[in-house]
Structure formats: C-alpha cells, structure tokens
Structure 1
Amino acid sequence: MSAPMPFDPINPCLILIVRRDNLVRDTLTQLQGKNPNDFKKPLKVIFQGEEAVDEGGVRKEFFMLLLREVMDPIYGMFKTYSSNLQWFNSSTFEDSSMFHMIGTLCGLAIYNFTIIDLHFPLALFKKLLKKPVMLDDLMELMPDVGRNLQSILEYEGEGFEDLFCLNFEIMQEQFGETKPVELCPGGKNKEVHNGNKLEYVNLYVDFLLNKSVQEQFTAFSEGFHAVCGGVVLDLFHPQELQAMVVGNEDYDFQELEKNTTYKGEYFRQHQTINFFWEVFHEMSLVDKKKFLLFLTGSDRIPVFGMKYLKMTIQPTGGGEDFLPVAHTCFNVLDLPKYTTRENLKQKLLLAIQQTQGFGLV
C-alpha cells in the first residue's frame, strides 16, 4: 500500500516462529515486538518442531488456523448475525491488543497476497478508509434491524408516536445484562416523531457501527494501518479494499482449468480427469463456490482474478468408494481413480457438501 521499504539484506523476511498449541499467544507476542518496517517484508511462518519450508502453503495454513481460532465464539471478540456476517463485540472480555493483532493480520494478508476467509461487512472497509457508514451498511450486517429502521423512515401516516412508541435510546446487552443507552443527551425523554425520525435513525446507525465498538475498531484499525497505512490506501474504494483482503467473485472457471496441473498417473486427457471437468463445469455456481471453499478455504478468488488461483490434482491409493480430499493449504485435490462419470459426480458433490469452514488436511 505504502512505498516499498529498502531491502534489508540481514533480515529480508518477517519471520514468525509459532507453536500449534499456543498459536494466538505466540503470534501476539511476536507481532508486538516487531518494528513497523518489518511488516513490509515477506512473511515466513515456521511451526516449531516442523521442517516444512514456507513456500506459501505454511503461511496460508497459519492464517487459516489463527483466524479460525480468534473468530471462535469462545473468545467472544466478534458476533455473528443472521446475515452470516461478523462484527465487533462491544461486550468482549479480550483487551485491545487482540483486535490490534487481527488488524495487523489482515494487513499482512494483503501484503503477502493471501486470501483470508473473514466474514466482515463492507462497513468495516469503509471505516478503515474513513468513509461514513449509513443505514444500507447496517442493513447488510443486521437485515432485520435495518428493515425496521427503514420502515420508520418510510412511514408518513398519522399517529406515528402511538404506533412506534420510541425514545432516543437503545437497549444494549453488556456482559449478559440488557440496559438502555441514550443515543443523545436526554435521549430517554426525547420522543421520536415524524420531524426527527431521520436524526433518530442516523444516531442509531452511528451507535451500532461506530460508538458502541469504538475501542475495538480503533485497535483493529491501528493494527491494519501499521501494515497498510499510507497515501496509496486513500486511492482505494471500500469494495476494492474488501477484495484485497477476502478476494473477489469474478469467477472464470475455464481459467481455473487452464491453471490446473496434474501429478502421478493423471494428465489432462486421463479418463478420470475428463470426468472431473465435465462434472465440474456442469455444477451450479453455488456448488462451484462450495468446491472453492473445499479446495482453498475460501469461496472467493484472488483480487487479480482466477489466473492467480492454481490447483493440483493427484491420484490416491484408495478405491472408488473413497471421497475426494482437499489439502487446503496447498490447493491440492486428492482424486480417486473413478471409472464412471456418475460415481465421480456423486462422490465429489458429497465431499463438498460436507465441508464446513476450513477443510484442512
């Protein structure tokens, strides 16, 4: 995002050495000890006690495992809404350093061309770019709340006050207890009516997306900007920044086929491979996206397009009763040597339907 840093011949990479059973704490401790200039270097990850050389796959596994852990409800850092999108939890017990770490990781993912499977609304990326958030943004995250507020704005009939019975306050859950919070000074005694309903809706949106999570978002933003801050960032639209972090949906599955390599007995005209591509191209977009999630850990593709997504298909020793298996960190598909198109289709669809979240092997 910002201007590239001069090459450091002594320490050319940002190296993180982490333990699988202490991933969050090790990452947090090491990131806190780094100079901001270190974040501009290529990231190399070493899992303690393992010999794998990080050619990209180890780094991808690191992001996937770490983010899966910190987004787990056990940490209580984020809430998931009916939209299946996540937002900061204002009632979290975690301190700001954890949110700073996640922001830093999002920045590092951009710098290292790694797509990460985070389910944040566009509002997050608007806020990172210091753009205002509005009712449409709240509606994306919390559809029911957004629609209710929209209905308030659209109501033009008589008896507004008796119908809605609203004051300028909101009920907020804090640590298991629900309490009223005033949206403005004296809000509990300020009635909402047709003349001030827009003010009410704006304050409501501002509270949910800004004020109530200010501490958590500020830490996240500081971590992100420590990596990606600079004048170049200002040139991005929120949708472009979102695509840099979580990929885009500009699918070209013919490009994926062209980029696929084969190992062992497999080659492009092998009977099983022919069956595979026939079945794949006939699948619905929904199932193709499930396959991407199964293969890569995300149903989105790199920001620069499908040509940057590489897949390897290799045979397995198992028989035709076995399901395909994805080595998610390396985009490798273990495909049994199915001898009929029908069996391949059945087994492939079954494999991708069973995938939930990360399909690590």
Structure 2
Amino acid sequence: MDVVMGDAEVERMQREAKAWPLEQLELLRKVLQNVVENPKEPKFRKLKTGNARIAALLALPAARSGLEALGWQATEEALELPERAELAPFAAVLEATKPQPLGELVPLTVLRGALKSKLELPCNLPFSGLAAALEQSDALGRIPRARQRLLVGVPPKPLSELWPNYQAMTIEELNLKAFKLEDTWEEMVADLRALRASFGALLGVLSCKRTLQDNYGFLLDSAKALLQAKAKQMDATELQNARKCFAVLWPPGAAETRQARLEHCAACTPLSAPQKAEDGSVIQFPLRVERAELFDSAISQIASASAEELRRPLQVTFANEAAEDAGGPRREFFNDFGRACAEQTEVWQLTAAGSLLPAECASSLRGCGRVCGLALCQAENAAQEQRVRENATLQELLAAVTEGEEGAAVVQQKLLLGAPLARPFLRCVQADAPETLEDLQAELNAEQHESAPDFRGAKAFLSTSLRDMGLEGQLTFSRQVGGRTVDLTPGGRDIVVTEETKLSWLRAVLKSELVDSLQEAAESFRLGVLETCGAAYLALLSAAELQEEWSGLALIKDEDLKLWRERAAINPARKAQADWFFEILAEEPSNGRPKVLKFTTGSDRWPSDPKTFAFYVEPMDGGDEVLPRAMTCGNMLQLPNYSSKEQLRSQLAKACELGLSMQLV
C-alpha cells in the first residue's frame, strides 16, 4: 500500500506517453536513461524548469505528476531527484515505453478537400507518428499536428468520436485505410469572427506554436471579444479553458498588462438597461441593511433578487440612519460586510493569515458571491443617473462618470471588502485549482501567519527524513476535519506514511484540504459572482490580483501615506491643521492608519491601485472642544480650528472611536 498512489501516477504517465509527440517521448526516455546509466552524476538528477524543452515535456498530460511519483522533487527553478531515490521504477518505465521495431508498411489514402494523397507508414506506428508524417507532407499543406482533424467513415465522423483514446493507438489498432484531413484553423477563424467558438476549441489552436506566432494579434483580439460575448454565461469547464487561453495570450499576474486587463474586465461587465420610474428617476436596486444584523439582512435581500435587479444602480441605506448613498454608505457596507463574514462561523472561517475560507458546511455562499460580484461591478456614484447608452457596460459607465456638478472631480474609489478571501478558495472559484505539489505548498503558505508557518509548506519537508523531523510513525493517509477523520485513500487512517510515500501523502492531504473540500462552496460562490458581474474578472486576473480587487490592502504603508498626502486638496484655512493631521498619521504604525481611513472614507482598506483616490480637508466651525467630522461620500475631513497638534490628535481619536461618519453623508 505504501507505493500504490505513486504507482498509479507512473502508470498514468506510461499510458499518456503513447499519445505524446515522439520527440517528447524520446526526451523522457533520455532523462530516465541518463539517471539509470549515471546514478552518481548530479547533473542528470536536475531538470531545469526554465529550459524550453523540459518545460514543454512537463506541460504534457501526466508528465510532471509521473516524474514526481518517481521521486523528483520541485524546487524554485527545477525538479531534482534525491540520491536515495529508488531507480527500479525508472527501468520499468523505460521498458514500457521502448520503441517497437517497425512493422509492415500499409498504404493510406488521405483526402483534403478535392486533393487525394497517398502515404505508406508502418502498421504499428503510433498516432503521434502519423500526425508527424502529415505535418511533414508538402502535398497536404504541412498542417501542424495541433490543427489536424481526421475524419473516417461515411458520412465522415471525427476519429475522436469513434476512438476516444485514439491518440494512444497505432494505425493498425485504428484500422485506418482512408481518412479525410481537415485544418481546424480554417474553421476556427470563421467561428472566432462569428463569436461562436468555444474557449476549449481555441485552446487546441493555441497549442500550435506556428499558428500562435503568426496570428497572435488576431487571436488575442478574438479571445477578448469571445470573453465579452460569453462573460454572463460560462460554466466551470469553459472558464478553465478561458483561463488557459489567456495564460498564453494575456497572462494573469503580469504587472505590465494589469490595467489593460482590468479595463477589459469592465468592458465585459454587463449593466442593466436604464429604467425610469414615473417621476423620471432611474430605477435602482435599493439595499436597506441593519447594522446589528448586517450579514443576514444583506444576504436575505441580495439572494432573493433577480440578476436583472442586481445589475441596476445600487443604493445602500442603513436602517434608522438618514445618510443618503452618494458613495460613502456603499463603501461602508462592503467594508463591513467583509468583517461580518468573519463572524458567521457557520459560513466562513478565518485562516491563520486572516483570510476568509468557507466553513465545512457552508451555506449562503451563492449570496456571498453575489455581494462580491456587486463590489466589482457597482462603480462609484453608480446610484446617480449617468447619461450612457442602454445596455452600457461598466467600462462605459466609468468613462461617463468623469466629473461631478460644476466640473468637480468625482471620487472613483473602489468598493472593498473588509476581509480578504483566501487564495486557495479563489483558485477554486476561478476553476484554477492548484495541482502540482509546488503549487499546493505555495497556496498553503499564502494563508499561514508568518510567525507560525505550517511544516507541510516548508521546503525542508521535501528533503528531510521523517525521523529527523520527529514525524516517523506519526502520520497516516487521513486528516482531521471538524473533529472527524477523513481518509485520503480507502482505509487511509490505518496506513502509516513512510519515507517512500511521504510526497504522495503531502500531495493528497494538501489537495484534500485546499481543493476537494472547497469545490462545492466554490461552485456556489462562482454562480453568485457570474449572476452579478460575469466571468471576466475570474478569467483575466490571477488569484492574488483578484484578492486585491476585492479587498485591497490591510496596511497603509509609508509610501501609501505619502500618496494620500499628495492627493489631498486642502482648504488654505486649515493648512496648519492638515499638516498636523498627516504628521499624526505618519507617527501612527501602518496598522493604526486604517481606522482614520475608515472614518473619513467609509472603508478601512487601502486600494491596491490608488490612482483614482482623492481626499479633501475643509474647515468647520468650532475650536478645541469640537470633534472633527467626515463626509465619507466625498472622502472629506472637516476640521475645526484646533490650536495644537495634540488637541487634533485627541479629538481625532475620539471621533474615530465613536464612528461619527455614520451620521453624515
């Protein structure tokens, strides 16, 4: 039982390898052969993942997981094989993948359009060999193998329909004598232009390097248009394929394209067509929440609303409070909702890093997804009527909201949740669950407190023996969930982890904890997001970027405070007091500044991209005995004529503690 899990991955690699391009199979064999023939040579035990050929090999189905099952361990830049690794399985893989002597030649008739061509190939040639022969045929147009589609029979049907496992079969096993050859690129161009293509089909085309290189601009523009057309309705499989396509064309996480990707997210985010009431006002989606029951009161209304209602301009009011929503109450609602989630222990739990992770028996996740979707799609001042066309997108609304009354600048501060969503959960929501051991460890570490890291995420765990770590005989193929034992494999609680199965256990336990246990909650949450803002943010952003779009930053660092000061428009009558104000903030620790941000803007989260942030300092009547006031809708702080910095410090602390911004608009 110790090696069952590893054996399964090795056997899967052997099966899948039959469908790999011959040159990739030969590379795998060379890697293994070098180790077998030179077991003491360190250079053959290290595969640099930055090497183009190695990266292409590891990208093939079951290649990486198979190599890891053979003992290769992930580091930052390579896969490395420890000296203690058992080499007997290497010989078994080499034997199973050994090329067979060429068999008898068989004639093949190939039809491409009106063209008929002849080929003679060995009967035991695998399908990958046939694909290579077609790719090299001048008579057939040298169609890259990634674009080849073979049809057989009358009427012609794709080979994949008759033989789902055709890529792992030989010409003889397929009983091929004549077939029709098509170039999927020709069909794809027409489908892309008509916006009827799927991201799954586009992904197949992108695997062809020549096609990608020759048509990159067209492919990127087409993928963006396809996302805009499909953003409102996209299942998990199509979302996963969309992410894979954009990983090639417009990679999530790239800093230089982040703004462009965010702008396209806005272009893909649908808004309801403006509807007028009898009095001529725009029909809004009114959300009236109770402060004491903020989570339940919000979820009950948002979960029962239609998707069309949710896309109307949002108007937030707090029960028994007179403040009108021109931005501030809206920011405050989303900020407080994030913190309220942390108190709903039957729905959410907090990770060691303070992020929100669904509880085991989570409920209300679809409603929470809707709230988070609203945070992305409800632009600042969306509650006020904007003159844009019907069926406008969020991008067009943002473009329209460029100035307020009499040309005054309008604050475009984002709507940020008061607590971040855990990164492993976001990966599952994006249908981008981590798979490799390296990836799983990274997601585990992302949610650990820096002062108490989880031993399972440490690199040392990969290279240090269980005995040296004091874990020998202490681990089984199971994990504890809510006071009960969950087996990672049948009977896992009785299977002790050994040195040989340590990596298999680590992959299994992290996958169970960070992927399998979250999938149901992620599907429900994703549905809520799609109903409000569509799939673009899920497809175009990395999990880290999406986390920041939803919750911004918890700390206001010195460089952020400097920007805050630069963006402040200060009335000359309160220049001295404004200077004291920013000096006080500079003297505060970075984790003490958010409470002042909350008092003055309605949100204690600093935006990850603050270029639209604005701030105002204006005078108010009174002196040392008066507390400052805030107008959160306009990010405005009103200061009395304080006589000293210490008096300002004292009164500001009282105002933040009392939360007087609640009384103002």
Alpha-carbon contact 2:600-2:636 (below 8 Å) kept: yes
Cα offset, 1:145, TM superposition: 6.6
Distance 1:131 1:256 in 2: 35
Aligned to 1:319: 624
Cα offset, 1:223, TM superposition: 1.0
Aligned to 1:118: 419
Cα offset, 1:165, TM superposition: 2.0
Structure 1, 192-201 or 146-155: larger mean CA deviation: 146-155
CA deviation vs aligned residue, 1:85-138 (integer Å, no higher than 9, x gap):
33211145xxx3x21111111110111231221232322332222223312222
Distance 2:319 2:597 in 1: 29
Q: Give me the TM-score of the superposition, normalised by structure 2.
A: 0.45
Q: Does 1:78 align with 2:342?
A: no
Distance 2:289 2:471 in 1: 60
Structure 1, 143-152 or 51-60: larger mean CA deviation: 143-152
Aligned to 1:344: 648
Q: Does 1:333 align with 2:599?
A: no
Alpha-carbon contact 2:622-2:640 (below 8 Å) kept: yes
Alpha-carbon contact 1:338-1:344 (below 8 Å) kept: yes
AA partner of residue 644 (structure 2): T
SS in 2 for 1:163: coil
Q: Does 1:186 align with 2:494?
A: no
Task: Select 2:463's aligned residue among 133, 154, 157.
Answer: 154
Identity of aligned residues (%): 23
Aligned Cα RMSD in Å? 3.7
Aligned to 1:8: 274
- Map 1:266-285 to 2 at 5 A: 267=572, 270-281=575-586, 283-285=588-590
CA deviation vs aligned residue, 1:158-196 (integer Å, no higher than 9, x gap):
5789725211011221xxxx2211012221232212222
AA partner of residue 481 (structure 2): Q
Alpha-carbon contact 2:475-2:496 (below 8 Å) kept: yes
Alpha-carbon contact 2:577-2:641 (below 8 Å) kept: yes
- Map 1:196-207 to 2 at 5 A: 196-207=501-512
Aligned to 2:126: none
Over 3 Å counting, the alpha-carbon distance change for 1:276 and 1:230 in structure 2 is closer
Alpha-carbon contact 1:121-1:137 (below 8 Å) kept: no
Over 3 Å counting, the alpha-carbon distance change for 1:9 and 1:329 in structure 2 is closer
Over 3 Å counting, the alpha-carbon distance change for 1:208 and 1:149 in structure 2 is same
AA partner of residue 168 (structure 1): F
Q: Does 1:35 align with 2:306?
A: yes
Distance 1:238 1:129 in 2: 8
Alpha-carbon contact 2:336-2:417 (below 8 Å) kept: no
Structure 1, 246-255 or 202-211: larger mean CA deviation: 246-255
SS in 2 for 1:109: helix
AA partner of residue 641 (structure 2): K
AA partner of residue 577 (structure 2): T
AA partner of residue 63 (structure 1): F
SS in 1 for 2:454: helix
Alpha-carbon contact 1:149-1:201 (below 8 Å) kept: no
- Report the count of equivalent residues: 346
Q: Does 1:54 align with 2:54?
A: no
Q: Does 1:107 align with 2:373?
A: yes
Alpha-carbon contact 1:293-1:299 (below 8 Å) kept: yes
Distance 2:442 2:283 in 1: 41
Which residues of structure 2 form unaligned runs of 5+? 1-264, 379-413, 435-439
Alpha-carbon contact 1:318-1:336 (below 8 Å) kept: yes
Alpha-carbon contact 1:169-1:188 (below 8 Å) kept: yes
Distance 1:36 1:298 in 2: 26
Distance 2:454 2:659 in 1: 27
SS in 2 for 1:170: strand
AA partner of residue 256 (structure 1): W
Distance 1:65 1:358 in 2: 15
Alpha-carbon contact 1:329-1:360 (below 8 Å) kept: no
SS in 2 for 1:53: coil
Alpha-carbon contact 2:578-2:617 (below 8 Å) kept: no
Distance 1:80 1:110 in 2: 22
Aligned to 2:442: 136
Distance 1:186 1:215 in 2: 24
Cα offset, 1:260, TM superposition: 3.1
Q: Does 1:244 align with 2:549?
A: yes
- Map 1:162-241 to 2 at 5 A: 163-173=472-482, 178-231=483-536, 233-241=538-546
Distance 2:595 2:300 in 1: 35
Over 3 Å counting, the alpha-carbon distance change for 1:233 and 1:52 in structure 2 is same
Cα offset, 1:47, TM superposition: 4.6
AA partner of residue 153 (structure 1): L
Of structures 1 and 2, the one scoring higher in RCO (CA 8 A, sep 6+) is: 1
Distance 1:103 1:180 in 2: 30
Distance 1:107 1:298 in 2: 18
Alpha-carbon contact 2:629-2:660 (below 8 Å) kept: no
Alpha-carbon contact 1:64-1:358 (below 8 Å) kept: no
Q: Does 1:260 align with 2:568?
A: yes
* Bigger CA radius of gyration: 2
Alpha-carbon contact 1:255-1:307 (below 8 Å) kept: no
Cα offset, 1:245, TM superposition: 0.9
Cα offset, 1:56, TM superposition: 1.4
Alpha-carbon contact 1:17-1:48 (below 8 Å) kept: no
Distance 1:85 1:184 in 2: 29
Which residues of structure 1 form unaligned runs of 5+? none
AA partner of residue 419 (structure 2): L
Distance 2:662 2:294 in 1: 16
Over 3 Å counting, the alpha-carbon distance change for 1:22 and 1:299 in structure 2 is closer
Over 3 Å counting, the alpha-carbon distance change for 1:141 and 1:39 in structure 2 is same
Structure 1, 128-137 or 15-24: larger mean CA deviation: 15-24
